[in-house]
Chain A
Amino acid sequence: MNIFDSVMDRTDALQAGAAASALSVKTKFPLGQDGSLKANQDRGMGSATTARLNGLGGWWRLSAVLGNPMVTTAALPLLLGIVLALFARFALPATSPVLTLVWAALLLFFYWDTLGPPVMPPVAASQKLIYLAFAGIVMGLLPERLFGRGTSSLAVIALAAAFLWLGWRRLASGSLDLQMIAALAVGLLALIGAAMLTAQQASLSPSVEEPFLAPAAVLALSLASAIVSVLGASIVTGQLLGSLAALIGGWCLVQYVVTLRGGAADSWRKGVEFLLLYAGATVLIQVALLAPNANPAALVLSSLPPIVAVLVRGRLLGLLPGARPLRPLVAGILIAAPAILAIVTAIVWAPHGAALGF
Protein backbone atom coordinates (compact mmCIF):
# COMPACT_ATOMS: atom_id res chain seq x y z
CA MET A 1 0.00 0.00 0.00
CA ASN A 2 1.56 3.31 -0.96
CA ILE A 3 1.44 6.35 1.26
CA PHE A 4 -1.41 8.00 -0.66
CA ASP A 5 -3.63 4.94 -0.40
CA SER A 6 -2.83 4.93 3.29
CA VAL A 7 -3.78 8.57 3.69
CA MET A 8 -7.01 7.85 1.87
CA ASP A 9 -7.64 4.96 4.24
CA ARG A 10 -7.33 7.34 7.15
CA THR A 11 -9.56 9.90 5.53
CA ASP A 12 -12.13 7.21 4.76
CA ALA A 13 -12.01 6.12 8.36
CA LEU A 14 -12.57 9.67 9.51
CA GLN A 15 -15.47 10.14 7.15
CA ALA A 16 -17.16 6.76 7.38
CA GLY A 17 -16.43 5.62 10.89
CA ALA A 18 -16.77 8.82 12.78
CA ALA A 19 -19.39 10.53 10.69
CA ALA A 20 -21.95 7.81 11.17
CA SER A 21 -21.39 7.57 14.89
CA ALA A 22 -20.92 11.26 15.57
CA LEU A 23 -24.12 11.80 13.65
CA SER A 24 -26.11 9.59 15.94
CA VAL A 25 -24.58 11.22 19.01
CA LYS A 26 -25.03 14.79 17.92
CA THR A 27 -28.47 14.57 16.37
CA LYS A 28 -29.85 12.88 19.49
CA PHE A 29 -31.95 10.80 17.11
CA PRO A 30 -31.68 7.05 17.42
CA LEU A 31 -30.15 6.61 14.02
CA GLY A 32 -28.89 3.31 12.74
CA GLN A 33 -25.19 2.55 12.57
CA ASP A 34 -25.21 3.69 8.96
CA GLY A 35 -26.83 6.94 9.99
CA SER A 36 -30.01 6.28 8.03
CA LEU A 37 -33.57 6.49 9.18
CA LYS A 38 -34.33 3.43 7.08
CA ALA A 39 -32.08 1.51 9.41
CA ASN A 40 -34.37 2.50 12.23
CA GLN A 41 -37.33 1.09 10.36
CA ASP A 42 -35.37 -2.11 9.82
CA ARG A 43 -34.79 -2.18 13.56
CA GLY A 44 -38.48 -2.05 14.20
CA MET A 45 -38.94 1.68 14.77
CA GLY A 46 -42.48 2.63 13.83
CA SER A 47 -43.07 4.36 10.54
CA ALA A 48 -44.84 7.22 12.35
CA THR A 49 -41.69 7.93 14.32
CA THR A 50 -39.59 7.75 11.21
CA ALA A 51 -41.98 10.04 9.36
CA ARG A 52 -41.78 12.51 12.25
CA LEU A 53 -38.00 12.47 12.06
CA ASN A 54 -38.13 12.91 8.29
CA GLY A 55 -40.44 15.85 8.88
CA LEU A 56 -37.56 17.50 10.68
CA GLY A 57 -35.67 17.29 7.41
CA GLY A 58 -33.95 20.66 7.51
CA TRP A 59 -32.63 20.29 11.03
CA TRP A 60 -31.69 16.69 10.44
CA ARG A 61 -29.69 17.58 7.36
CA LEU A 62 -27.95 20.42 9.24
CA SER A 63 -27.12 18.03 12.07
CA ALA A 64 -25.85 15.52 9.55
CA VAL A 65 -23.56 18.13 8.02
CA LEU A 66 -22.32 19.32 11.42
CA GLY A 67 -21.84 15.72 12.47
CA ASN A 68 -19.26 15.19 9.76
CA PRO A 69 -15.84 15.70 11.33
CA MET A 70 -14.40 16.97 8.05
CA VAL A 71 -16.91 19.83 8.27
CA THR A 72 -16.25 20.70 11.90
CA THR A 73 -12.49 20.25 11.53
CA ALA A 74 -11.98 22.18 8.31
CA ALA A 75 -14.92 23.75 6.49
CA LEU A 76 -16.82 25.32 9.39
CA PRO A 77 -13.80 26.90 11.13
CA LEU A 78 -12.49 28.18 7.79
CA LEU A 79 -15.84 29.80 7.10
CA LEU A 80 -16.01 31.24 10.62
CA GLY A 81 -12.48 32.61 10.25
CA ILE A 82 -13.54 34.38 7.06
CA VAL A 83 -16.67 35.76 8.73
CA LEU A 84 -14.62 36.92 11.70
CA ALA A 85 -12.15 38.72 9.44
CA LEU A 86 -14.99 40.40 7.57
CA PHE A 87 -16.56 41.33 10.89
CA ALA A 88 -13.27 42.92 11.96
CA ARG A 89 -13.04 44.67 8.62
CA PHE A 90 -16.50 46.17 8.51
CA ALA A 91 -18.08 46.06 11.97
CA LEU A 92 -15.44 46.27 14.66
CA PRO A 93 -11.80 47.27 14.75
CA ALA A 94 -9.46 44.26 14.95
CA THR A 95 -8.18 45.67 18.23
CA SER A 96 -11.62 45.61 19.85
CA PRO A 97 -11.92 43.52 23.03
CA VAL A 98 -15.30 42.35 21.68
CA LEU A 99 -13.48 40.68 18.82
CA THR A 100 -11.21 38.96 21.34
CA LEU A 101 -14.36 37.62 23.01
CA VAL A 102 -15.62 36.30 19.68
CA TRP A 103 -12.28 34.54 19.08
CA ALA A 104 -12.50 33.09 22.58
CA ALA A 105 -16.08 31.89 22.05
CA LEU A 106 -15.18 30.21 18.77
CA LEU A 107 -12.14 28.59 20.35
CA LEU A 108 -14.23 27.18 23.19
CA PHE A 109 -16.86 25.98 20.72
CA PHE A 110 -14.28 23.88 18.90
CA TYR A 111 -12.82 22.54 22.15
CA TRP A 112 -16.30 21.58 23.32
CA ASP A 113 -17.21 20.05 19.96
CA THR A 114 -14.04 17.97 19.81
CA LEU A 115 -13.33 17.08 23.43
CA GLY A 116 -16.85 17.21 24.84
CA PRO A 117 -18.05 19.28 27.79
CA PRO A 118 -15.62 20.09 30.60
CA VAL A 119 -15.22 17.42 33.25
CA MET A 120 -14.72 18.45 36.87
CA PRO A 121 -12.26 17.53 38.21
CA PRO A 122 -10.23 16.89 35.09
CA VAL A 123 -8.22 13.68 35.40
CA ALA A 124 -6.83 12.83 31.97
CA ALA A 125 -4.70 15.35 30.11
CA SER A 126 -7.34 15.57 27.37
CA GLN A 127 -9.83 16.74 30.00
CA LYS A 128 -7.43 19.47 31.11
CA LEU A 129 -7.07 21.04 27.67
CA ILE A 130 -10.30 23.03 27.78
CA TYR A 131 -9.33 24.48 31.18
CA LEU A 132 -5.98 25.50 29.76
CA ALA A 133 -7.75 27.14 26.83
CA PHE A 134 -9.95 28.96 29.28
CA ALA A 135 -6.90 30.13 31.23
CA GLY A 136 -5.37 31.38 27.98
CA ILE A 137 -8.59 33.24 27.23
CA VAL A 138 -8.61 34.90 30.65
CA MET A 139 -5.02 36.05 30.08
CA GLY A 140 -5.88 37.09 26.52
CA LEU A 141 -8.68 39.30 27.79
CA LEU A 142 -6.33 41.34 29.95
CA PRO A 143 -6.20 45.01 28.93
CA GLU A 144 -3.95 45.55 25.93
CA ARG A 145 -1.70 47.97 27.84
CA LEU A 146 -0.64 45.09 30.12
CA PHE A 147 0.82 43.21 27.16
CA GLY A 148 4.28 44.66 27.27
CA ARG A 149 7.62 43.28 28.28
CA GLY A 150 6.03 41.17 31.00
CA THR A 151 4.05 39.15 28.45
CA SER A 152 7.07 36.95 27.73
CA SER A 153 7.32 35.99 31.38
CA LEU A 154 3.59 35.33 31.48
CA ALA A 155 3.85 33.10 28.40
CA VAL A 156 6.81 31.20 29.87
CA ILE A 157 5.10 30.63 33.22
CA ALA A 158 1.77 29.70 31.63
CA LEU A 159 3.30 27.20 29.20
CA ALA A 160 5.62 25.68 31.80
CA ALA A 161 2.65 25.24 34.14
CA ALA A 162 0.63 23.67 31.31
CA PHE A 163 3.48 21.27 30.52
CA LEU A 164 3.75 20.17 34.14
CA TRP A 165 -0.02 19.83 34.58
CA LEU A 166 -0.52 17.86 31.37
CA GLY A 167 2.55 15.71 31.79
CA TRP A 168 3.00 15.15 35.50
CA ARG A 169 2.07 11.47 35.27
CA ARG A 170 4.58 10.93 32.45
CA LEU A 171 7.21 12.92 34.33
CA ALA A 172 6.52 11.05 37.56
CA SER A 173 7.02 7.71 35.83
CA GLY A 174 10.63 8.82 35.33
CA SER A 175 11.01 7.19 31.92
CA LEU A 176 13.24 9.18 29.61
CA ASP A 177 12.53 7.51 26.29
CA LEU A 178 12.76 9.13 22.86
CA GLN A 179 9.19 10.36 23.04
CA MET A 180 9.75 11.98 26.41
CA ILE A 181 12.91 13.69 25.14
CA ALA A 182 10.91 14.97 22.14
CA ALA A 183 8.15 16.16 24.47
CA LEU A 184 10.66 18.07 26.59
CA ALA A 185 12.17 19.61 23.45
CA VAL A 186 8.71 20.56 22.17
CA GLY A 187 7.81 22.10 25.53
CA LEU A 188 11.04 24.09 25.60
CA LEU A 189 10.77 25.30 21.99
CA ALA A 190 7.09 26.19 22.38
CA LEU A 191 7.98 28.13 25.48
CA ILE A 192 10.84 29.99 23.74
CA GLY A 193 8.68 30.66 20.67
CA ALA A 194 5.78 31.97 22.74
CA ALA A 195 8.10 34.17 24.78
CA MET A 196 9.74 35.61 21.65
CA LEU A 197 6.52 36.13 19.73
CA THR A 198 4.53 37.70 22.56
CA ALA A 199 7.43 40.07 23.28
CA GLN A 200 7.13 41.56 19.79
CA GLN A 201 5.51 44.96 19.77
CA ALA A 202 3.60 46.40 16.84
CA SER A 203 5.64 48.80 14.73
CA LEU A 204 4.53 52.39 14.47
CA SER A 205 4.41 52.01 10.69
CA PRO A 206 3.97 48.27 10.20
CA SER A 207 5.30 46.58 7.09
CA VAL A 208 2.83 44.83 4.80
CA GLU A 209 3.75 41.39 6.14
CA GLU A 210 3.71 42.28 9.85
CA PRO A 211 -0.01 41.56 10.49
CA PHE A 212 0.51 38.08 9.02
CA LEU A 213 3.48 36.98 11.13
CA ALA A 214 1.71 35.88 14.32
CA PRO A 215 -1.31 34.34 12.54
CA ALA A 216 1.01 32.46 10.16
CA ALA A 217 3.02 31.16 13.12
CA VAL A 218 -0.02 29.81 14.98
CA LEU A 219 -1.55 28.50 11.75
CA ALA A 220 1.63 26.64 10.75
CA LEU A 221 2.14 25.25 14.26
CA SER A 222 -1.47 24.07 14.45
CA LEU A 223 -1.65 22.58 10.97
CA ALA A 224 1.61 20.65 11.28
CA SER A 225 0.69 19.47 14.78
CA ALA A 226 -2.74 18.37 13.54
CA ILE A 227 -1.28 16.15 10.85
CA VAL A 228 1.49 14.82 13.10
CA SER A 229 -1.17 14.09 15.72
CA VAL A 230 -3.50 12.22 13.36
CA LEU A 231 -0.60 10.21 11.92
CA GLY A 232 0.45 9.47 15.48
CA ALA A 233 -2.98 7.95 16.20
CA SER A 234 -4.25 10.85 18.28
CA ILE A 235 -7.29 11.83 16.26
CA VAL A 236 -9.08 14.06 18.79
CA THR A 237 -6.19 16.47 19.23
CA GLY A 238 -5.62 16.33 15.47
CA GLN A 239 -9.18 17.48 14.86
CA LEU A 240 -8.87 20.24 17.45
CA LEU A 241 -5.63 21.57 16.01
CA GLY A 242 -7.09 21.28 12.51
CA SER A 243 -10.05 23.44 13.59
CA LEU A 244 -7.68 26.05 15.01
CA ALA A 245 -5.59 26.07 11.83
CA ALA A 246 -8.66 26.41 9.60
CA LEU A 247 -10.09 29.21 11.75
CA ILE A 248 -6.87 31.20 11.46
CA GLY A 249 -6.61 30.22 7.79
CA GLY A 250 -9.96 31.89 7.11
CA TRP A 251 -8.75 35.05 8.83
CA CYS A 252 -5.48 35.08 6.86
CA LEU A 253 -7.29 34.49 3.57
CA VAL A 254 -9.41 37.62 3.94
CA GLN A 255 -6.43 39.67 5.10
CA TYR A 256 -4.41 38.57 2.10
CA VAL A 257 -7.22 39.48 -0.31
CA VAL A 258 -7.29 42.91 1.36
CA THR A 259 -3.53 43.19 0.83
CA LEU A 260 -3.84 42.19 -2.82
CA ARG A 261 -6.46 44.89 -3.27
CA GLY A 262 -3.98 47.42 -1.92
CA GLY A 263 -5.36 47.74 1.59
CA ALA A 264 -3.69 47.19 4.95
CA ALA A 265 -4.32 43.88 6.68
CA ASP A 266 -5.73 43.92 10.22
CA SER A 267 -3.37 42.89 13.00
CA TRP A 268 -4.34 40.68 15.89
CA ARG A 269 -4.76 42.21 19.27
CA LYS A 270 -1.93 40.94 21.51
CA GLY A 271 -4.56 39.19 23.64
CA VAL A 272 -5.89 37.26 20.63
CA GLU A 273 -2.34 36.32 19.69
CA PHE A 274 -1.72 35.08 23.21
CA LEU A 275 -4.85 32.98 23.59
CA LEU A 276 -4.57 31.33 20.17
CA LEU A 277 -0.85 30.66 20.50
CA TYR A 278 -1.39 29.28 23.98
CA ALA A 279 -4.18 27.00 22.74
CA GLY A 280 -2.11 25.64 19.85
CA ALA A 281 1.02 25.18 21.95
CA THR A 282 -0.74 23.39 24.81
CA VAL A 283 -2.44 20.93 22.47
CA LEU A 284 0.89 20.32 20.70
CA ILE A 285 2.49 19.63 24.10
CA GLN A 286 -0.27 17.15 24.90
CA VAL A 287 0.35 15.34 21.58
CA ALA A 288 4.08 15.26 22.25
CA LEU A 289 3.57 13.88 25.74
CA LEU A 290 0.90 11.30 25.08
CA ALA A 291 0.68 10.20 21.45
CA PRO A 292 3.05 7.24 21.40
CA ASN A 293 3.12 6.99 17.62
CA ALA A 294 3.69 10.66 16.87
CA ASN A 295 6.99 11.16 15.06
CA PRO A 296 9.44 12.83 17.51
CA ALA A 297 11.31 14.82 14.84
CA ALA A 298 8.03 16.03 13.32
CA LEU A 299 6.82 17.12 16.74
CA VAL A 300 9.96 19.17 17.33
CA LEU A 301 9.70 20.76 13.87
CA SER A 302 6.02 21.60 14.49
CA SER A 303 6.96 23.77 17.45
CA LEU A 304 9.32 26.03 15.47
CA PRO A 305 7.05 28.41 13.46
CA PRO A 306 6.69 31.04 16.24
CA ILE A 307 10.48 31.32 16.48
CA VAL A 308 10.80 31.66 12.70
CA ALA A 309 8.03 34.29 12.72
CA VAL A 310 10.16 36.44 15.02
CA LEU A 311 13.24 35.86 12.84
CA VAL A 312 11.30 37.05 9.78
CA ARG A 313 11.06 40.45 11.44
CA GLY A 314 14.82 40.39 12.05
CA ARG A 315 17.51 38.21 10.51
CA LEU A 316 15.33 36.74 7.76
CA LEU A 317 13.87 40.08 6.71
CA GLY A 318 16.35 40.29 3.84
CA LEU A 319 14.82 37.18 2.26
CA LEU A 320 11.52 38.92 1.64
CA PRO A 321 10.99 40.27 -1.89
CA GLY A 322 10.32 43.91 -2.64
CA ALA A 323 6.98 43.29 -4.35
CA ARG A 324 4.24 44.20 -1.89
CA PRO A 325 1.82 41.30 -2.58
CA LEU A 326 4.62 38.74 -2.37
CA ARG A 327 6.01 39.81 0.99
CA PRO A 328 3.26 38.25 3.18
CA LEU A 329 3.32 35.15 0.96
CA VAL A 330 7.08 34.61 1.24
CA ALA A 331 6.99 35.44 4.95
CA GLY A 332 4.28 32.81 5.36
CA ILE A 333 6.28 30.23 3.42
CA LEU A 334 9.37 30.91 5.57
CA ILE A 335 7.32 30.58 8.76
CA ALA A 336 5.67 27.43 7.45
CA ALA A 337 8.96 25.83 6.32
CA PRO A 338 9.53 23.85 9.56
CA ALA A 339 5.84 22.92 9.57
CA ILE A 340 6.07 21.62 5.99
CA LEU A 341 9.15 19.61 6.98
CA ALA A 342 7.25 18.29 9.98
CA ILE A 343 4.36 17.13 7.80
CA VAL A 344 6.68 15.46 5.27
CA THR A 345 8.61 13.78 8.09
CA ALA A 346 5.41 12.53 9.73
CA ILE A 347 4.05 11.13 6.47
CA VAL A 348 7.27 9.50 5.27
CA TRP A 349 8.09 7.96 8.64
CA ALA A 350 4.54 7.22 9.79
CA PRO A 351 4.79 4.11 11.96
CA HIS A 352 2.27 2.10 9.98
CA GLY A 353 2.00 4.05 6.78
CA ALA A 354 -0.74 6.55 7.35
CA ALA A 355 -3.66 4.24 7.96
CA LEU A 356 -5.49 3.68 11.19
CA GLY A 357 -5.38 0.15 12.44
CA PHE A 358 -9.02 -0.47 13.07
Chain B
Amino acid sequence: MRTRKLIAALAFAGASMLAAAAHADNYEIDGQHAWVTFTIKHGIYGIAHGQFDAVKGAIVIDKADVSKSSVKAELDVGSIHTAFDQRDSDLKGPDFFNAAEFPTISFESTKVEKVDDKTGKVTGNLTISGVSKEITLDVKLLNEAQAPWDATLTKAAFSATGKVSTADFPMGKAADGFGLGPEVEIAIDLEAVKK
Protein backbone atom coordinates (compact mmCIF):
# COMPACT_ATOMS: atom_id res chain seq x y z
CA MET B 1 0.00 0.00 0.00
CA ARG B 2 2.81 2.33 1.02
CA THR B 3 4.72 1.48 -2.18
CA ARG B 4 1.68 2.28 -4.31
CA LYS B 5 1.35 5.68 -2.65
CA LEU B 6 5.03 6.39 -3.26
CA ILE B 7 4.74 5.44 -6.95
CA ALA B 8 1.64 7.61 -7.28
CA ALA B 9 3.41 10.54 -5.65
CA LEU B 10 6.42 10.14 -7.91
CA ALA B 11 4.21 9.88 -10.98
CA PHE B 12 2.36 13.05 -9.92
CA ALA B 13 5.61 14.91 -9.32
CA GLY B 14 6.99 13.75 -12.68
CA ALA B 15 3.81 14.76 -14.49
CA SER B 16 3.88 18.18 -12.79
CA MET B 17 7.48 18.70 -13.83
CA LEU B 18 6.68 17.70 -17.39
CA ALA B 19 3.74 20.09 -17.41
CA ALA B 20 5.93 22.87 -16.10
CA ALA B 21 8.58 22.09 -18.67
CA ALA B 22 5.94 22.13 -21.36
CA HIS B 23 5.30 25.80 -20.58
CA ALA B 24 8.97 26.69 -21.00
CA ASP B 25 10.26 27.25 -24.51
CA ASN B 26 13.93 26.87 -25.19
CA TYR B 27 15.64 29.25 -27.56
CA GLU B 28 19.15 29.48 -28.86
CA ILE B 29 20.63 32.89 -29.62
CA ASP B 30 21.04 33.34 -33.37
CA GLY B 31 24.59 34.65 -33.60
CA GLN B 32 24.00 35.91 -37.14
CA HIS B 33 21.22 38.14 -35.91
CA ALA B 34 22.62 39.40 -32.66
CA TRP B 35 23.90 42.92 -32.12
CA VAL B 36 25.47 43.44 -28.71
CA THR B 37 26.49 47.06 -28.86
CA PHE B 38 27.76 49.58 -26.36
CA THR B 39 28.54 53.24 -26.08
CA ILE B 40 31.23 54.67 -23.84
CA LYS B 41 32.54 58.16 -23.22
CA HIS B 42 35.60 58.99 -25.29
CA GLY B 43 38.00 61.02 -23.13
CA ILE B 44 36.74 64.56 -22.64
CA TYR B 45 35.00 64.61 -26.02
CA GLY B 46 32.26 62.46 -27.44
CA ILE B 47 30.77 59.01 -27.35
CA ALA B 48 32.47 55.93 -28.81
CA HIS B 49 30.45 53.01 -30.15
CA GLY B 50 31.39 49.38 -30.18
CA GLN B 51 30.00 45.93 -30.81
CA PHE B 52 30.74 42.31 -30.01
CA ASP B 53 30.23 40.20 -33.12
CA ALA B 54 30.48 36.71 -31.63
CA VAL B 55 27.55 36.03 -29.35
CA LYS B 56 26.09 32.72 -28.25
CA GLY B 57 23.73 31.56 -25.56
CA ALA B 58 20.39 30.17 -24.57
CA ILE B 59 17.09 31.67 -23.50
CA VAL B 60 14.32 29.86 -21.69
CA ILE B 61 10.92 31.54 -21.84
CA ASP B 62 8.23 30.37 -19.47
CA LYS B 63 5.06 32.19 -20.44
CA ALA B 64 3.03 30.70 -17.62
CA ASP B 65 5.49 31.86 -15.00
CA VAL B 66 7.91 34.43 -16.35
CA SER B 67 10.02 34.28 -13.20
CA LYS B 68 11.07 30.80 -14.30
CA SER B 69 12.54 32.17 -17.52
CA SER B 70 16.29 32.51 -17.84
CA VAL B 71 19.06 33.83 -20.05
CA LYS B 72 22.62 32.65 -20.45
CA ALA B 73 24.91 34.36 -22.94
CA GLU B 74 28.58 34.52 -23.80
CA LEU B 75 30.51 37.10 -25.81
CA ASP B 76 33.88 36.55 -27.42
CA VAL B 77 36.09 39.48 -26.36
CA GLY B 78 38.19 38.92 -29.47
CA SER B 79 35.19 39.84 -31.61
CA ILE B 80 34.98 43.42 -30.33
CA HIS B 81 35.05 46.09 -32.95
CA THR B 82 34.77 49.84 -32.74
CA ALA B 83 35.39 50.86 -36.35
CA PHE B 84 39.13 51.27 -35.74
CA ASP B 85 41.50 48.27 -35.68
CA GLN B 86 44.03 49.85 -33.37
CA ARG B 87 41.43 50.75 -30.77
CA ASP B 88 39.99 47.23 -30.99
CA SER B 89 43.45 45.86 -30.40
CA ASP B 90 44.06 48.16 -27.43
CA LEU B 91 40.68 47.30 -25.91
CA LYS B 92 41.66 43.62 -25.91
CA GLY B 93 44.74 44.51 -23.84
CA PRO B 94 45.20 44.02 -20.09
CA ASP B 95 44.06 47.53 -19.16
CA PHE B 96 40.61 46.94 -20.60
CA PHE B 97 39.04 43.57 -21.47
CA ASN B 98 42.22 41.54 -20.93
CA ALA B 99 41.35 39.06 -23.69
CA ALA B 100 44.51 37.00 -23.28
CA GLU B 101 43.53 36.06 -19.73
CA PHE B 102 39.75 36.24 -19.98
CA PRO B 103 38.68 35.57 -23.57
CA THR B 104 34.94 35.68 -22.86
CA ILE B 105 32.36 37.88 -21.17
CA SER B 106 29.36 36.04 -19.78
CA PHE B 107 25.93 36.86 -18.48
CA GLU B 108 23.69 34.53 -16.51
CA SER B 109 20.31 35.64 -15.27
CA THR B 110 19.29 35.20 -11.65
CA LYS B 111 15.88 36.86 -11.78
CA VAL B 112 13.37 37.60 -14.53
CA GLU B 113 10.47 39.93 -13.78
CA LYS B 114 7.49 40.73 -15.94
CA VAL B 115 6.60 44.40 -16.32
CA ASP B 116 3.84 43.95 -18.89
CA ASP B 117 3.09 41.58 -21.74
CA LYS B 118 5.99 42.80 -23.83
CA THR B 119 8.52 44.11 -21.36
CA GLY B 120 10.43 42.83 -18.41
CA LYS B 121 13.54 43.16 -16.31
CA VAL B 122 16.30 40.59 -16.40
CA THR B 123 18.74 40.69 -13.53
CA GLY B 124 21.86 38.60 -13.62
CA ASN B 125 25.58 38.31 -13.14
CA LEU B 126 27.76 39.91 -15.74
CA THR B 127 31.27 38.47 -15.62
CA ILE B 128 34.11 40.49 -17.12
CA SER B 129 37.75 39.61 -16.50
CA GLY B 130 36.76 37.00 -13.97
CA VAL B 131 34.75 39.39 -11.79
CA SER B 132 30.95 39.07 -11.57
CA LYS B 133 28.64 41.97 -10.87
CA GLU B 134 24.89 42.03 -10.81
CA ILE B 135 23.26 44.15 -13.49
CA THR B 136 19.68 44.60 -14.61
CA LEU B 137 18.64 44.82 -18.23
CA ASP B 138 15.36 46.31 -19.42
CA VAL B 139 14.12 43.81 -21.96
CA LYS B 140 11.42 44.13 -24.60
CA LEU B 141 9.98 41.23 -26.54
CA LEU B 142 9.68 42.57 -30.08
CA ASN B 143 8.10 39.57 -31.72
CA GLU B 144 7.75 35.84 -31.54
CA ALA B 145 6.54 34.14 -34.69
CA GLN B 146 6.90 31.29 -37.10
CA ALA B 147 8.94 32.14 -40.17
CA PRO B 148 6.58 32.61 -43.16
CA TRP B 149 8.99 30.64 -45.36
CA ASP B 150 9.71 27.80 -42.97
CA ALA B 151 7.07 26.24 -40.74
CA THR B 152 9.74 24.52 -38.65
CA LEU B 153 11.45 27.79 -37.74
CA THR B 154 10.16 29.89 -34.87
CA LYS B 155 12.10 32.89 -33.69
CA ALA B 156 11.75 35.44 -30.96
CA ALA B 157 13.33 38.88 -31.09
CA PHE B 158 14.34 40.97 -28.12
CA SER B 159 15.76 44.39 -27.39
CA ALA B 160 17.58 45.05 -24.15
CA THR B 161 19.31 48.03 -22.59
CA GLY B 162 21.37 48.46 -19.46
CA LYS B 163 24.25 50.28 -17.84
CA VAL B 164 27.59 49.04 -16.52
CA SER B 165 30.42 50.80 -14.77
CA THR B 166 33.88 49.63 -15.75
CA ALA B 167 34.94 50.58 -12.21
CA ASP B 168 33.16 47.41 -11.05
CA PHE B 169 35.59 45.25 -13.02
CA PRO B 170 39.38 44.93 -13.14
CA MET B 171 39.65 47.33 -16.07
CA GLY B 172 42.17 49.77 -14.63
CA LYS B 173 42.31 52.33 -17.36
CA ALA B 174 38.65 52.29 -18.35
CA ALA B 175 37.74 52.77 -14.70
CA ASP B 176 40.00 55.83 -14.65
CA GLY B 177 38.30 57.10 -17.79
CA PHE B 178 41.60 56.85 -19.63
CA GLY B 179 40.66 57.41 -23.25
CA LEU B 180 37.45 55.43 -22.84
CA GLY B 181 35.20 55.07 -19.82
CA PRO B 182 34.11 54.73 -17.16
CA GLU B 183 30.34 54.32 -17.72
CA VAL B 184 29.08 52.02 -20.45
CA GLU B 185 25.60 51.92 -21.92
CA ILE B 186 24.59 48.59 -23.40
CA ALA B 187 22.07 48.12 -26.19
CA ILE B 188 21.28 44.62 -27.36
CA ASP B 189 19.13 43.46 -30.24
CA LEU B 190 18.98 39.80 -30.89
CA GLU B 191 16.93 37.03 -32.37
CA ALA B 192 16.71 33.55 -30.91
CA VAL B 193 15.67 30.32 -32.58
CA LYS B 194 13.19 28.03 -30.85
CA LYS B 195 14.54 24.56 -30.28
Contacts and interface: CB of A to CB of B under 8 A. Distances in A.
Given A233-B93, A289-B100, A292-B89, A123 B129 contact: yes
B178 interface: yes
A123 B43 CA distance: 28
Given A126-B94, A234-B95, A13 B179 contact: yes
Interface in B86-101: 86-90, 92-95, 98-101
Nearest to B172: A236
B23 interface: no
B84 to A, nearest CB: 6
Nearest to B127: A123
Given A17-B179, A119-B170, A356-B179, A124 B101 contact: yes
B90 A357 contact: yes
B49 interface: no
Nearest to A35: B44
B43 A16 contact: yes
A124 B93 contact: no
Contacts of B182: 21
A2 to B, nearest CB: 16
Contact of B42 (A116, A233, A286, A358): A358
B178 A357 contact: no
A115 B92 contact: no
A73 interface: no
Contacts of A24: 177
A127 B172 CA distance: 10
A63 to B, nearest CB: 15
A20 interface: yes
Contacts of A20: 43-44, 177
Contact of A293 (B43, B93, B102): B93
A123 B170 contact: yes
B173 interface: yes
B100 A236 contact: no
A18 B176 contact: yes
B43 to A, nearest CB: 5
Interface string B91-125: 01111001111110000000000000000000000
A107 interface: no
B41 to A, nearest CB: 8
A125 B129 CA distance: 10
A292 B99 contact: yes
Interface string B156-185: 000000000000001011001111111000
A33 interface: yes
B178 A18 contact: yes
B130 interface: yes
B186 to A, nearest CB: 20
Contacts of B100: 170, 179, 289-292
A286 B100 CA distance: 11
B20 interface: no
B98 A123 contact: no
A113 to B, nearest CB: 12
A18 B152 CA distance: 54
Contact of B84 (A34, A124, A357): A357
Contacts of A119: 170
B131 interface: yes
For A124, A169, A173, which residue has the most chain B Cβ atoms within 10 angstroms?
A124
B101 A290 contact: yes
B44 A34 contact: yes
A292 B177 CA distance: 21
Nearest to A116: B172
A358 B170 contact: no
A302 B100 CA distance: 21
A179 B94 CA distance: 14
B82 to A, nearest CB: 9
Contact of A17 (B43, B86, B87, B101): B43
Nearest to B170: A124
Interface string A9-41: 000010011101110110000000110000000
Given A34-B44, A292-B92, A357-B90, A123 B130 contact: yes
Interface of B: 42-44, 48, 84-90, 92-95, 98-103, 129-131, 170, 172-173, 176-182
6 nearest interchain CB pairs? A357-B86, A358-B179, A21-B177, A357-B87, A123-B130, A233-B93
29 contacts: A16-B44, A20-B43, A21-B176, A21-B178, A24-B177, A25-B176, A33-B177, A116-B172, A124-B102, A125-B94, A125-B101, A126-B94, A127-B170, A169-B102, A170-B101, A179-B100, A234-B93, A235-B178, A236-B95, A290-B101, A291-B93, A292-B92, A292-B100, A293-B93, A351-B86, A356-B179, A357-B88, A358-B90, A358-B179
Given A236-B94, A290-B100, A351-B86, 5 more contacts: A20-B44, A115-B172, A116-B172, A126-B170, A170-B101
